[in-house]
C-alpha cells in the first residue's frame, strides 16, 4: 500500500480531528433545531392544532438530521476507536438515558397524530419533550465532564477501567455546561419555529428564542470564567510523536490551573471561536427582535459552531483527558485508527459528504415554506 | 442461576438485536415493493397504484420508525457493552459502520421525509426518485452492516499490531469483498423481500376474505407473489451458498448445525431430525439421508467434512500455537521502549500470531496462558463447540420455512395469474396465518449465524468473554430491564397501530375503482 502515504499520518490525524468537530457541529446544528423545537413544544404550542404545526415544522427533516448522530457514532468508532470505547462504556448510564430519549423521539413524531385520543396525544407530547430535552442536557453534561477529565485508566493490554459513577457526572460545572447546551438549542429551535410557523406560535417562539439567546451568552461566559478559576487543564510533558502508533500509554501528562486557556495565548486566532459563539448569539437576539426571520436560524447555527469549536480549541490536542491516570488521556496523536483506515475513511468522506449536502439541500428546497394550519386540519398531505 | 457480566452483556445484545431485526426485514422488502408499485403508477398513470403505494407506505412508516429508533441502540452498544472489542477491532469494524451512515442511511432517512410529505410538493417522477432513494438506501445499509458482520465471521484483510495492541486493517478490499459478507448480504436482503412479500400477501388475502378493497388487494397480491417467488428461491439458493462458505471458513459452526460429532467417510449423510446430546457427543433418534450433507457442504463426493471431535483436536493444536504467539508478544512488550524487536522474536510472532486468539480462550482458566495445564487446554478446546441442540433445530426451522415460502409463493403466483383466488378461501387463510412465519425464519437465521459463532466474538481472533466492558452486573441488568420495558411497550403500540391501519384500509378518497370491482364478490360476513 503506497497510496495512503500521500497524506502523512499526522496530517490525517489533524484532518480527522477537524472532521470529528464538523460531525458534532453538523449534528448540533441540524438535529439541534429539532431538539430545541421538541423542548419548546409544550411552551409555544397550547392546543392540539398548534402542537401539530410545531411537530410538522420538523416532521419531514428530523429523520435526516438524526443521521448526523449515527454518522458521528460511526465515525468516532472508525477514526477514534479508543475514544469510542472509553466514552461510550464510561458514560454507560448517561448513554442509556440518551438512547431511551432517542427511541421515544422518532416514535413520538410518527405515532402521536395517528389517534384522536387527547390522552394519547398528551402522552406523546411529553415523550417528545423528554426525548428532546434530555439529550440536549446530557450532551452538554458530557462535554462538561470531558473538560474536567474523566476517571478512566488502561491496563497494559489497553483494557479500559472506569472508576466514576452516573451521579458523579452531575457535578456543578458539568450541569452548567448542560445548561449552555440546552439554552443554545432552544435559541436555535426558537429561530427555526419563527421561520416555519405563523401567528401565536411564532410570537411565543420569538420570545423564548430571544431569552435563550441572552441566556446562552451569559451561561457560556460563566462557563469560561469557571474554567479559568476552577478547572484544571491537561498538558503533554516532553515530546510526543505525531506519527507514532496509537498507544496512549507512551506519553506523560500533567494537570494544572489555566492550561485550557493556554492555547489562546499560543494561537491567538483560536479566539475566533468563542467570539463567534457570543457575537452570533447576540446577533440572533437582534434579528429575532427586528424580525429578519430567514437569517436568524443561520446566525443561531453559527453561534453553535462557535461554542462547540471553543471546546475543541481549548482542549487541543487532548480529546478525552483522564483524571485518574493523566498519561492515559486520549489525544489527537495517540488515539486514532491506523494510517490506512484514516486514509480510506477520508476518501469515502470526500466522495459522499458533497453528495449528501447536495441532496439534503434539494430536500430542504422542496419543503421550503411555512407550515400551513389549514393543511394540517384538513388532514390531506401531512403525515403527522 | 448466576449471570455474570459476559452473559448479561450477551443477553442484552441478543435481545436488542433480535428486536431490531423484527423491523429491518420488512423495511428492506417493503421499501422495494413500494418503489415497484409507484413505478407502475408513474408508467401507467392509473390511480389505483398510487393508492397502493400510499396505503402500504403507511404500514411501512409505522414499521420503519421503530427500526430507526432501535438501530441507534445497536450502534451505541458496541462501545457501551463491548469496549475491549471496540478498541481491539475498531480499526476495521468501525469503517463499514461509518460508511453505512455516509452512503446509505443518510440517503434513506433524508428521502423518507419526502416520501411521506412530498406527494403534493413535487412531480410524479420527482417523488418516484425519492421512493427509490429510500429503497436503495435501506438495502445499501444492509450491505455495510453485513460487511461488518461478515468480517466477524471471517476476519480477512487484517493483522495484529503489537504497538497498538489491536487488530489493524492490511487489505481493505479483502474486507469489502469478503465472500462470507457478500453471501450473507444477498441471503439477508432476500429474506427481507420474502418477509415483505408474505406480509403483503397475507394482508391482501385478509381483505379478499373480508371482501374489502378488492382492487387493491388483488394487485398487491400479484406484486407480492411474483416478487416473493423470486426472493424465496434466491433466499434458499443463497443460503446454500452461505452454508457452502461455512464449510470453508467456519467448520465448527457447520459441524454444530449438522450435529456431526465425528468425521464421516465422504460423502457424509444429512441428519434430518434427531436430538443432539452435547454431553454424550451423539445424536439420539437421528434420521439420516445418505450422501446429502457431503454433496451440499462440499459440492463433491469425495471431500470429507470434519466432525466436532476432530475440530476440537485441531483447536488444541491452534491453542498451543497461540501460546507460542502469546509468549513472543509478551517478550516483545517487555523490551525497553524504543528498542528494536529482535528478528527471531518478530518471526516467531509473525508465524504464530494468527492463532493468538486461541491462547486468549485460556484466559477463562488461567491468567497467563503460558501456564495452562494439559487439562485446561483440553477444556478450552472443547469451549470452541457452540451449543449443538439449539443450532441444530433453529437451522432446521429456518430451512423448512424457506422451502415452505417457495411453495406458498409458487401457488399464489399461479393462482393470481388464473384469477381464481377468491374461490379458494382456505388458501387465503393459509396466507393470512403465514404472516408471522418469515419473522420466525429471520430470527432463527440470526441465531444460527451469531450463536453459531460462539465462543468467538470474532471467529478465531477474539473470544466473546474477553470483549466486554468493565461494568457492574447490576448496571447491565438495570439497562436490560429498561430495554425490555420500553421495547415491550413500543411493540404493543406498534402492533396496535399496524392492526388499526390495516383494519382502516386505504384512504377512501384515494380509492378510485373499488365499488365497481368489489360488487361481484360476496362479502365474508
Q: What is the rounded distance in angstroms from the CA atom of residue B488 to the CA atom of residue A2?
A: 52
A96-110, A261-275, B81-95, B254-268: range with lowest mean pLDDT: B254-268
A259-268, A335-344, B279-288, B503-512: range with lowest mean pLDDT: B503-512
A70-89 residue pLDDT tens: 889 999 999 999 999 999 99
Q: Which among A166, A170, A99, A161 has a CA at the least distance from the CA of B480?
A: A99
- Interchain contact B71–A (C-beta under 8 A): yes
Task: List, as ranges, residues 129-158 from A with C-beta within 8 Å of B.
Answer: 156-158
Note the pLDDT of residue B524.
Answer: 39
Partners of residue A79 in chain B, C-beta under 8 Å: 94, 98
Note the pLDDT of residue A378.
Answer: 60
Asked whether the predicted pLDDT for residue A381 surpasses 60, the reply is no
CA dihedral A107, A111, A112, A118 (to 10 degrees): -130
User: Nearest-CA residue of chain A relative to B493?
Assistant: A111
> CB distance A99–B93 less than 8 Å?
no
Number of A–B residue contacts, CB under 8 Å: 247
Mutation choice for A interface testing from B84, B131, B164 by most A CBs within 10 A: B164
User: Out of A337, A353, A366, whose CB is closest to B90?
Assistant: A337
Asked whether the predicted pLDDT for residue A380 surpasses 70, the reply is no
Q: What is the rounded distance in angstroms from the CA atom of residue A267 to the CA atom of residue A270?
A: 6
Partners of residue B113 in chain A, C-beta under 8 Å: 59-64, 363, 367
Better-scored residue on pLDDT, A384 or A35: A35
User: Out of B76, B87, B103, whose CB is closest to A73?
Assistant: B76
Asked whether the predicted pLDDT for residue A295 surpasses 70, the reply is yes
Paired residues of B105 in beta bridges: none
Note the pLDDT of residue B301.
Answer: 76
Q: What is the rounded distance in angstroms from the CA atom of residue B72 to the CA atom of residue B218?
A: 37
pLDDT per residue rounded down to tens, chain B (525 residues): 567 899 999 999 999 999 999 999 999 999 999 999 999 999 999 999 999 999 999 999 999 999 988 999 999 999 999 999 999 999 999 999 999 999 999 899 889 988 988 888 889 999 999 999 999 999 999 999 999 999 999 999 999 988 899 999 999 999 999 988 988 899 999 999 999 999 999 999 999 999 899 889 999 999 999 999 999 999 888 777 777 777 677 888 888 888 888 888 878 888 888 888 888 888 888 788 877 777 777 777 777 888 888 899 999 999 999 999 998 888 888 888 777 888 888 888 888 888 999 999 998 898 889 988 889 999 999 999 999 999 999 999 999 999 999 999 999 999 888 877 777 889 999 999 999 999 999 999 999 999 999 899 999 899 999 999 999 899 999 999 999 999 999 999 999 999 999 999 888 766 554 444 433 444 433
Asked whether the predicted pLDDT for residue A158 surpasses 70, the reply is yes
> CB distance A67–B109 less than 8 Å?
yes
pLDDT band of residue A174 (cuts 50, 70, 90) is: very high
For the four alpha carbons of A144, A145, A146 and A148, in that order, the dihedral sign comes to positive
C-alpha grid cell, residue B323: 501460546
CA distance A366 to chain B (A): 7
User: Out of B83, B92, B169, whose CB is closest to A89?
Assistant: B83
C-alpha grid cell, residue A207: 420570545
Q: What is the rounded distance in angstroms from the CA atom of residue A10 to the CA atom of residue A13?
A: 5
User: Out of A341, A353, A380, whose CB is closest to B91?
Assistant: A341
C-alpha grid cell, residue A300: 443561531
- Interchain contact B157–A (C-beta under 8 A): no
Asked whether the predicted pLDDT for residue A15 surpasses 50, the reply is yes
> CB distance A85–B87 less than 8 Å?
yes
Note the pLDDT of residue B511.
Answer: 55
C-alpha grid cell, residue B144: 455495510
Beta-strand ranges (E) seen in B421-478 are 456-458, 462-463
| Mean pLDDT calculated for residue range A111-138 | 91
Task: Judge contact between B128 and B39, C-beta under 8 A.
Answer: yes
> CB distance B84–A159 less than 8 Å?
yes
Task: Judge contact between A194 and A296, C-beta under 8 A.
Answer: yes
Partners of residue A106 in chain B, C-beta under 8 Å: 65, 68-69
- Interchain contact B345–A (C-beta under 8 A): no
Task: List, as ranges, residues 248-287 from B with C-beta within 8 Å of A.
Answer: none
C-alpha grid cell, residue B248: 470453508
Note the pLDDT of residue B512.
Answer: 54
Task: Judge contact between A311 and A231, C-beta under 8 A.
Answer: no
> CB distance A160–B84 less than 8 Å?
yes
pLDDT band of residue A377 (cuts 50, 70, 90) is: low
Asked whether the predicted pLDDT for residue A66 surpasses 90, the reply is no
> CB distance A161–B78 less than 8 Å?
no
A165-179, A274-288, A345-359, B415-429: range with lowest mean pLDDT: B415-429
- Interchain contact B167–A (C-beta under 8 A): no
A64-68, A146-150, A269-273, B501-505: range with lowest mean pLDDT: A64-68
Q: How many CB atoms lie within 10 A of CB B272?
A: 11
User: Out of B61, B70, B126, whose CB is closest to A110?
Assistant: B61
For chain A, what is the HEC assignment? CCHHHHCCHHHHHHHHHHHHHHHHHHHHHHHHHHHHHHHHHHHHCCCHHHHHHHHHHHCCCHHHHHHHHHHHHHHHHHHCHHHHHHHHHHCHHHHHHHHHHHHHHHHHHHHHHHCCCHHHHHHHHHHHHHHHHHHHHHHHHHHHHHHHCECEEECCCCCEEECCCCHHHCCHHHHHHHHHHHHHHHHHHHHHHHHHCCHHHHHHHHHHHHHHHHHHHHHHHHHHHHHHHHCEEEEEECCCCCCCCCCHHHCEEEEEECHHHHHHHHCHHHHHHHHHHHHHHHHHHHHHHHCCHHHHHHHHHHHHHHHHHHHHHHHCCEEECECCCHHHCEECCCCCCCHHHHHHHHHHHHHHHHHHHHHHHHHHHHCCCCCCHHHHHHCCCCCC
Task: List, as ranges, residues 155-174 from A with C-beta within 8 Å of B.
Answer: 156-162
Note the pLDDT of residue B332.
Answer: 87
Note the pLDDT of residue A383.
Answer: 57
Amino acid at each position: 500500500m503506497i497510496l495512503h502515504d500521500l497524506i502523512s499520518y499526522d496530517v490525517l490525524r489533524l484532518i480527522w480531528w477537524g472532521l470529528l468537530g464538523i460531525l458534532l457541529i453538523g449534528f448540533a446544528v441540524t438535529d439541534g433545531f429539532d431538539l430545541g423545537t421538541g423542548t419548546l413544544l409544550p411552551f409555544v404550542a397550547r392546543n392540539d392544532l398548534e402542537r401539530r404545526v410545531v411537530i410538522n415544522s420538523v416532521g419531514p427533516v428530523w429523520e435526516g438530521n438524526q443521521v448526523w448522530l449515527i454518522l458521528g457514532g460511526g465515525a468516532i468508532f472508525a477514526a477514534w476507536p479508543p475514544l469510542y470505547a472509553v466514552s461510550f462504556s464510561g458514560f454507560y448510564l448517561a448513554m442509556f438515558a440518551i438512547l431511551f430519549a432517542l427511541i421515544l423521539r422518532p416514535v413520538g413524531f410518527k405515532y402521536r397524530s395517528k389517534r384522536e385520543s387527547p390522552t394519547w396525544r398528551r402522552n406523546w407530547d411529553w415523550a417528545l419533550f423528554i426525548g428532546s430535552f434530555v439529550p440536549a442536557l446530557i450532551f452538554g453534561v458530557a462535554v462538561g465532564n470531558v473538560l474536567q477529565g474523566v476517571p478512566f485508566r488502561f491496563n497494559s493490554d489497553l483494557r479500559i477501567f472506569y472508576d466514576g459513577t452516573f451521579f458523579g457526572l452531575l457535578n456543578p460545572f458539568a450541569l452548567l455546561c448542560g445548561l449552555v447546551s440546552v439554552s443554545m438549542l432552544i435559541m436555535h429551535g426558537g429561530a427555526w419555529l419563527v421561520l416555519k410557523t405563523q401567528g401565536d406560535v411564532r410570537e411565543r417562539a420569538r420570545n423564548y428564542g430571544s431569552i435563550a439567546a441572552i441566556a446562552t451568552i451569559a451561561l457560556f461566559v460563566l462557563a469560561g470564567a469557571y474554567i479559568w478559576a476552577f478547572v484544571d487543564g491537561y498538558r503533554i510533558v516532553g515530546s510526543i510523536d505525531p506519527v507514532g502508533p496509537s498507544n496512549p500509554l507512551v506519553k506523560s501528562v500533567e494537570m494544572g490551573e489555566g492550561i485550557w486557556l493556554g492555547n489562546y495565548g499560543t494561537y491567538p486566532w483560536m479566539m475566533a471561536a468563542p467570539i463567534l459563539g457570543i457575537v452570533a448569539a447576540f446577533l440572533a437576539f437582534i434579528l429575532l427582535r427586528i424580525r429578519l426571520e430567514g437569517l436568524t436560524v443561520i446566525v443561531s447555527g453559527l453561534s453553535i459552531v462557535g461554542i462547540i469549536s471553543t471546546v475543541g480549541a481549548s482542549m487541543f490536542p487532548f480529546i478525552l483527558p483522564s483524571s485518574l491516570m493523566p498519561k492515559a488521556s486520549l489525544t489527537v496523536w495517540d488515539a486514532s485508527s491506523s494510517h490506512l483506515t484514516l486514509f480510506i475513511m477520508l476518501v469515502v468522506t470526500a466522495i459522499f459528504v458533497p453528495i449528501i449536502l447536495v441532496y439534503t439541500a434539494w430536500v430542504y428546497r422542496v419543503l421550503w415554506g411555512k407550515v400551513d394550519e389549514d393543511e394540517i386540519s384538513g388532514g390531506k398531505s401531512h403525515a403527522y | 442461576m448466576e449471570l455474570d457480566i459476559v452473559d448479561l452483556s450477551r443477553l442484552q445484545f441478543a435481545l436488542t438485536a433480535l428486536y431490531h431485526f423484527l423491523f429491518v426485514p420488512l423495511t428492506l422488502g417493503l421499501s422495494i415493493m413500494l418503489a415497484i408499485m409507484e413505478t407502475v403508477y408513474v408508467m401507467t398513470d392509473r390511480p389505483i397504484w398510487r393508492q397502493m403505494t400510499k396505503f402500504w407506505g403507511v404500514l411501512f412508516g409505522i414499521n420503519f420508525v421503530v427500526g430507526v429508533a432501535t438501530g441507534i441502540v445497536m450502534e451505541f452498544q458496541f462501545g457501551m457493552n463491548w469496549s475491549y472489542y471496540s478498541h481491539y477491532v475498531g480499526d476495521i469494524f468501525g469503517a463499514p459502520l461509518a460508511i453505512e451512515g455516509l452512503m446509505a442511511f443518510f440517503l434513506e432517512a433524508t428521502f423518507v421525509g419526502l416520501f411521506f410529505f412530498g406527494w403534493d410538493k413535487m412531480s410524479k417522477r420527482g417523488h418516484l426518485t425519492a421512493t427509490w432513494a429510500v429503497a436503495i438506501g435501506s438495502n445499501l445499509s444492509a450491505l455495510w452492516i453485513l460487511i461488518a458482520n461478515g468480517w466477524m465471521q471471517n476476519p480477512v484483510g487484517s493483522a495484529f499490531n503489537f504497538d497498538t495492541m489491536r487488530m489493524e486493517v492490511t487489505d481493505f478490499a479483502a474486507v469489502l469483498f469478503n465472500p462470507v459478507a457478500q453471501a450473507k448480504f444477498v441471503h439477508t436482503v432476500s429474506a427481507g423481500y420474502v418477509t415483505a412479500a408474505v406480509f403483503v400477501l397475507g394482508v391482501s388475502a385478509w381483505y379478499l376474505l373480508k371482501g374489502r378493497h378488492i382492487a387493491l388487494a388483488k394487485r398487491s397480491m400479484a406484486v407480492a407473489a411474483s416478487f416473493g417467488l423470486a426472493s424465496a428461491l434466491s433466499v434458499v439458493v443463497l443460503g446454500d451458498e452461505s452454508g457452502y462458505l461455512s464449510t470453508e471458513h467456519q467448520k465448527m459452526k457447520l459441524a454444530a448445525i449438522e450435529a456431526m460429532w465425528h468425521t464421516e467417510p465422504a460423502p457424509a449423510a444429512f441428519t434430518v431430525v434427531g436430538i443432539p446430546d452435547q454431553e454424550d457427543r451423539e445424536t439420539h433418534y437421528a434420521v439420516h439421508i445418505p450422501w446429502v450433507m457431503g454433496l451440499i457442504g462440499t459440492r463433491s463426493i469425495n471431500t470429507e467434512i470434519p466432525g466436532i471431535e476432530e475440530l476440537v483436536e485441531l483447536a488444541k493444536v491452534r491453542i498451543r500455537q497461540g501460546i507460542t504467539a502469546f509468549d513472543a508478544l509478551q517478550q516483545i512488550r517487555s523490551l525497553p521502549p524504543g528498542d528494536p524487536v529482535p528478528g527471531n522474536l518478530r518471526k516467531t510472532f509473525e508465524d504464530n500470531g494468527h492463532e493468538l486468539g486461541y491462547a486468549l480462550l485460556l484466559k477463562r482458566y488461567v491468567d497467563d496462558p503460558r501456564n495452562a495445564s494439559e487439562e485446561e487446554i483440553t477444556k478450552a478446546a472443547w469451549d470452541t463447540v457452540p451449543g449443538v441442540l439449539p443450532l441444530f433445530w433453529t437451522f432446521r426451522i429456518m430451512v423448512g420455512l424457506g422451502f415452505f415460502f417457495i411453495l406458498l409463493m409458487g401457488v399464489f403466483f399461479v393462482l393470481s395469474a388464473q384469477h381464481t383466488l377468491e374461490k379458494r378461501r382456505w388458501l387465503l387463510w393459509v396466507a393470512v396465518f403465514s404472516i408471522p412465519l418469515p419473522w420466525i425464519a429471520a430470527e432463527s437465521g440470526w441465531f444460527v449465524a451469531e450463536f453459531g459463532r460462539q465462543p468467538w466474538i470474532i471467529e478465531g481472533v477474539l473470544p466473546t468473554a474477553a470483549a466486554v466492558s468493565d461494568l457492574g452486573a447490576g448496571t447491565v441488568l438495570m439497562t436490560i430491564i429498561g430495554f425490555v420495558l420500553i421495547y415491550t411497550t413500543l411493540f404493543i403500540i406498534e402492533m396496535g397501530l399496524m392492526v388499526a391501519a390495516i383494519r382502516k384500509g386505504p384512504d377512501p378518497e384515494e380509492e378510485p375503482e373499488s365499488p365497481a370491482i368489489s360488487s361481484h364478490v360476496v362479502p365474508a360476513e
